[in-house]
């Protein structure tokens, strides 16, 4: 069942503009000119309950504007939006209790107070009893591996600890729909991993629907089976991540280290041998033949090490957008 439905959604901003210079400024004061900027251009998609979808594209592609329209923070110029059966722009209280928006570049925690104070305030706002709030805070804190950090001033926390505390504050009302805009922005590798693990656990435990934007492609590949790629306000691709990678990257590089030098003549009809350096070889294999080639290598050669090198997802997305704009 679709939990989020977007149909022919567009957002056009009317922006004043003028030429540089004092005379142009004076003229603009009395005769203001405007231009129309299309941030989101007639997009449509559906997301099922419990699904995690990656929403990706370059800066200025329309990702954040779309998320804000789905939350009701920005009114669409045209189109239909439904989230959990509600119309977001109406900002119904029941609707707001079911969603959350987490933006990696924004914070709700108060700098000089410990996170626990903000958590108590949020619990009161959502009408959660003190006993239930404590239970939820303990549960989420355990999932996020937060302990004493909740009782230290926010200014004394590391960026990773603050981001995890922000997530906890945004999820204390246990929303069923999560809109996450760059939730791992600026975090180190370990902190990114912890946040991804937490989001996966939250999704499984509460069957939450998650729409995730991120410029860290590891976030997308780790959490999302489906991606929606947007560029200049329009959707270029909506489907399985594996299908996208297989379509745009139909080959895999395989690096093999043997116990002694090899020629690999018996594999030339199945792959392209790009380099042989003593006992180390690099070959390019069609994805459809990868399993066969790897099995053949393992069964017929003595191998010290074997690596299948995937094409970086960043390159795949860049290729898709480049092809789509040609």
Please report, for the chain, the start and end positions of each structural domain, with discontinuous segments joined by +.
2-245, 251-309
The confidence score (pLDDT) of residue 316 equals 76
- Distance of alpha carbon 203 from alpha carbon 309, whole angstroms: 29
Distance CA 273, CA 284 (A): 6
Phi, psi (degrees; rounded to nearest 5) at 113: -110, 155
On the question of pLDDT at 19 being above 90, the answer is no
How many alpha carbons lie under 13 Å from residue 12 in its C-beta half-sphere?
Answer: 10
Tell me what percent of the chain is helix, strand and coil, each rounded to the nearest 5. Answer: 40, 30, 30
pTM (predicted TM-score): 0.82
The arithmetic mean of pLDDT across residues 126-140, rounded, is 94
CATH topology of domain 251-309: Alpha-Beta Plaits (3.30.70)
CA–CA distance, 251 with 286 (Å, rounded to integer): 4
Look at residue 315 and tell me whether its pLDDT is greater than 80: no
pLDDT at 242: 86
Q: Which of 28-32, 124-128, 147-151, 270-274 has the lowest mean pLDDT?
A: 28-32
- In tens, the pLDDT along 249-296 reads 788 889 999 998 888 888 888 888 888 888 899 999 988 888 899 999
Residues whose CB falls within 8 Å of the CB of residue 23, separated by 6 or more in sequence, listed in order: none
pLDDT beyond 90 at 96: yes
In 3D, which of 66, 103, 106, 104 has the Cα closest to residue 88? Answer: 66
- Percent of the chain with pLDDT strictly greater than 70: 98
Q: Are 106 and 155 in contact (CB under 8 A)?
A: no
Residue 186's SS3 state is coil
Q: What is the CA radius of gyration of the chain?
A: 25
Average pLDDT over all residues of the chain:
90
Q: Which overall architecture, per CATH, does domain 2-245 show?
A: 3-Layer(aba) Sandwich (3.40)
């Amino acid at each position: 069942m679709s939990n989020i439905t977007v149909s022919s959604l567009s957002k056009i901003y009317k922006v004043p503009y003028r030429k540089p210079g004092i005379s142009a400024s004076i003229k603009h004061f009395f005769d203001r000119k405007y231009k129309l900027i299309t941030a989101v251009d007639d997009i449509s998609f559906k997301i099922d309950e419990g699904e995690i979808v990656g929403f990706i594209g370059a800066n200025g592609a329309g990702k954040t504007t779309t998320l804000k329209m789905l939350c009701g923070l920005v009114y669409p110029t045209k189109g239909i939006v439904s989230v959990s059966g509600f119309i977001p722009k109406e900002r119904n209280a029941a609707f707001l209790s079911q969603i959350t928006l987490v933006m990696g570049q924004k914070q709700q925690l108060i700098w000089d107070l410990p996170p626990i104070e903000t958590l108590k305030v949020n619990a009161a706002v959502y009408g959660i009893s003190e006993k239930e709030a404590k239970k939820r805070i303990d549960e989420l804190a355990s999932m996020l591996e937060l302990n004493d950090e909740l009782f230290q001033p926010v200014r004394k926390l590391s960026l990773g600890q603050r981001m995890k505390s922000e997530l906890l504050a945004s999820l204390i009302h246990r929303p069923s729909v999560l809109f996450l805009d760059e939730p791992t922005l600026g975090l180190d590798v370990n902190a990114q991993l912890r946040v991804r693990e937490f989001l996966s656990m939250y999704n499984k435990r509460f069957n939450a629907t998650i729409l995730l934007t991120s410029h860290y492609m590891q976030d997308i590949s780790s959490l999302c089976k489906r991606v929606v790629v947007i560029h200049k306000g329009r959707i270029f691709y909506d489907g399985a991540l594996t299908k996208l990678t297989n379509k745009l990257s139909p080959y895999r590089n395989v690096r093999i280290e043997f116990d002694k030098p090899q020629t690999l003549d018996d594999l030339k009809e199945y792959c392209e041998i790009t380099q042989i350096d003593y006992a180390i070889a690099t070959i390019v294999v069609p994805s459809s033949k990868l399993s066969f080639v790897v099995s053949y290598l393992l069964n017929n050669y003595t191998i010290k090490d074997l690596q299948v090198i995937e094409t970086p997802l960043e390159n795949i997305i860049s290729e898709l957008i480049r092809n789509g704009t040609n």
